[in-house]
Every structure is written in C-alpha cells, then in structure tokens.
Chains A and B, each alone.
Chain A
Amino acid sequence: MTDRTINQTTLASPELAACEVHGMTRASFILRGALATGALYGTTAVAPFVSQALASTGGGDAEILNFALTLEYLESDFYTVKGKQVGLSGQAKSYATLFGAEEEAHVSALTAAIRQLGGTPVAKPTFVFPTTSESSFLALASVLENTGVGAYNGAGPSLKSKAVLASAGSIVQTEARHAAAIDLLIGKSPTPNQGFDRPLTKAEVLAKAGPLIKA
C-alpha cells in the first residue's frame, strides 16, 4: 500500500494528505527507524541508505510543523471538547483540564512557528472521537499521547532549523509526560516502548489519527 493510497482511502483530512504527499516518503521514514535502531546497537550497514533518504526528502520544517499542528488540534479538541461531553471525574477530569490547556498552548506555539517560517498554518479539522465513557476516553487518550510522542520523535531528525527542533523537543517531552500519566491511571506501563521510544513513521501516525479526522 502506498502513502497515496493510504491518504485517499482512509483520510478525510486534506491537510494531512498534503503533508504526506509532499513530506517524507514512507520508505524514508522506515529507513530512519532502522537508522535509529542501528545507531543504538552499532549496526552500520543502514547508515548510507538512511543518509540518502534524509537528503532526498522534500518536506520542509513548515510542513512537518503543520503535521504536528493537526495532531495538536486533535489532542486539544479531544481533551477540551470531548472530555466535557463524556463527563469525566476525579483524576481523569483534572488531567483532561490540564493536558487540554497544554495542548492548546502547543497549537498556539506551532501556529506561530509555522507563520515565522513563512508557511500557512492548517485550518483546524473536524474530529470524531468514538468514546462515550471515561474508560474509553482514557484508553483513546493513551493512544493519542503515545502516538504524539512517536510522531515528534520520528520527525525530529528531519527538522532543519535547530530552533524548531528545540521547540519540538520541548513539546514532545510534555507529550511523553502526558502519556505516562494517562497510562499509569489506566493501569498500563508508563514506558510501553521500554528504554527507547520508537519513532513513528508518518504512515503509522496517520493510521492512528486519520480515522478520527472527519473533515
């Protein structure tokens, strides 16, 4: 299945589709994942291929940030809008309030950063979240936060601006903290990837987030 096929069959978001088509290819993301693993465990064989993949990618920082912005829109909408609809209580409610505000701050920061880079921030999509209870809400929160961590970690090495990388790093650390807090609350491991958070390919991120984007 090609990226284009994924976009056209499973996504309703033109913003994400555009990101995918013009951004890094699935192949290069996979290579980069191999690279990350190789770097850690000392395999050198993949390095030349990865360098080529990184060099040949066309998407710039603004496009990567627009992809991140879509995810942040999704997270902030989930916590602030869906959280209220579901009717949360206790710790779930306080996390949703706190994390929702923090995701909104990420939206504002990314919007400003994209403009600074001369890009046009994507419009906020419409989302549909298949949750009706606190438990299903928290289960989805875990998916979204962990996907966010993998998405930022996956995109990090592609960022050209060191300032943008610093901002993305600052945000991903917060996403990782959210993920751990939510996972603890629902009895899951706060470190689902053990010692090394796996960078996600754009296609992997879209597989998780895409179905939640209505238009």
Chain B
Amino acid sequence: MSNPANDQSVPQPAGIVERLVRDDVDRKRFLKMAGSAGAASFGAFVLAACGSSSKTASTAATTAASTSSSSSTGDLAILNYALTLEYLETDFYRGVVASDFFTGKVGGLIKEFGSQEMTHVEALKGAVEKLGGTPVTAPEAKFPIKSATQVALLAYTVENLGASAYLGQAPHIQNAEVLASALAIHSVEARHAATLGTLVKKSVTPDGAFAVPADMSTVLAAVKPFLA
C-alpha cells in the first residue's frame, strides 16, 4: 500500500486512523497536539500524529500543512476517519446478520442498516478519491456477538457513537460538498440509533434535545476494544 513517491510530500492516509487507535504512543502524541492547537487545522494534526516517527510532530504537521491545501488535508483526514468508522459498522452488522439472532421485521431493519453502512463506505471512498486522497483500508475488527440482547445494546451504542462522531466533525469540515455529504450520513446514523433505542427500550434521544458531539480521540478510544 505504501507509495514511496508520496511519503515525503503527502502523508499516506491508508491505515492512519487505525494506527491511531492501535498505537498508544501515537494517540497520546495526537492528543497532546490536538490539545495545544486550534481546531482549524485539526485534520493536519491527525496526519501529523501518524506521520513518520523519525520526524518530530511539529515538522510533520508543517509538512502536511504546506504540501496540500489545509482544507483538503483536514477534510481528507476527517473522511478517512469517518470511513474507518463505517468499515467498523459494516463489519459489525455483517456479524449480526450472520448470527441469525434477529428475524422478521427487526431482522429486516438490521439488514437494511448494514447495507446502508456499506453505501456510506462506498460514498466516503469516492469522496476521499475525489479530493485526491487514498482511502484507508478496512481495520481488522472483532465484535462480540453473543446474544440478541447484547448485540442490540451494542448496536445502539455503536450507532450513537457514530452519530456523535459525525456531529463532532461537522464544524471542522471545510469543503461544502463534503459537509453536505457528511450531514446526509449523520442524520441516517441518528435514525439507526433511535430505531435501536426503541428495540432495547432505551431513550431514542439519549442526549435530550441537543445531541452531544464526540471528538476524534473519544471515538477512537471507544472503538479500540473492538479492533482485532
């Protein structure tokens, strides 16, 4: 997957988010940088945190920011982050559908949600490529699939997390097209979450009138246990 020609000028996005999730050192570096910098160049920091470990973080950040327009760099990082989450959701639903825990109307909804997550994956890949980036590869995931109740609760958690992840990124997106696409997906994740809420007898609006966003580090920490 590595493209040597691009290593210096444009950090390879493939596997970036996955590495952030897996690698505590990278993640701490990322958190430190994110905490010490403005949100405007948030995306550049994601790339920087995952850049070559031989560089200092600030050098990597400068490189990332100077070799690409800052808006597309940030949007690319956000899109690849969203793509990683969609891969995970797709993988999760694949396991749930295979489990045969759900039949009838609920089973139909689960299948539908799974295929909608797949369309999100395809759309995000297309968007990354359109911005001139390389879509990340799917992370290896392992979700516990033990019982109908456990799976439904996990699905509710996963969808709420997905919705809050999109909400957390929306204000950081620079490109109007990317934002429009992200919003179109965001509300669908919310619909999934609410549907699952009714299934597990939990609130359809767990945050009340105003949904609470989640930042990248919070979301990545939450999905980490599910990476194989």
Contact = CB atoms under 8 A, between A and B. Distances in A.
Given A36-B184, A191-B112, 20 more contacts: A41-B126, A54-B176, A103-B209, A109-B210, A153-B187, A165-B170, A167-B210, A169-B170, A171-B209, A172-B186, A172-B187, A174-B211, A176-B194, A177-B194, A180-B204, A181-B204, A191-B113, A197-B187, A198-B184, A199-B183
B171 A165 contact: yes
Contacts of B172: 162
Interface of B: 109, 112-113, 115-117, 119-120, 123, 126-127, 129-130, 163, 167, 170-172, 176-181, 183-188, 190-195, 197-198, 204-205, 207-213
Nearest to B185: A196
B188 A176 contact: yes
Interface residues of A, number: 54
A47 interface: yes
A28 B178 CA distance: 17
16 contacts: A35-B176, A39-B180, A47-B177, A109-B209, A109-B210, A165-B171, A166-B170, A174-B211, A175-B187, A176-B191, A177-B205, A178-B205, A181-B194, A196-B119, A196-B123, A196-B184
Interface of A: 32, 35-36, 38-42, 44, 47, 50-51, 54, 98, 101-103, 105-106, 109, 149, 152-153, 156-157, 162-163, 165-167, 169-181, 184, 189-191, 193-199
Nearest to B167: A169
Given A40-B184, A156-B179, A174 B195 contact: no
A170 B167 contact: yes
A173 B186 contact: yes
Q: What does DSSP make chain A's interface, helix, strand, loop or mixed?
A: helix
Given A39-B180, A169-B171, A180 B119 contact: no
B171 A162 contact: yes
B123 A169 contact: no
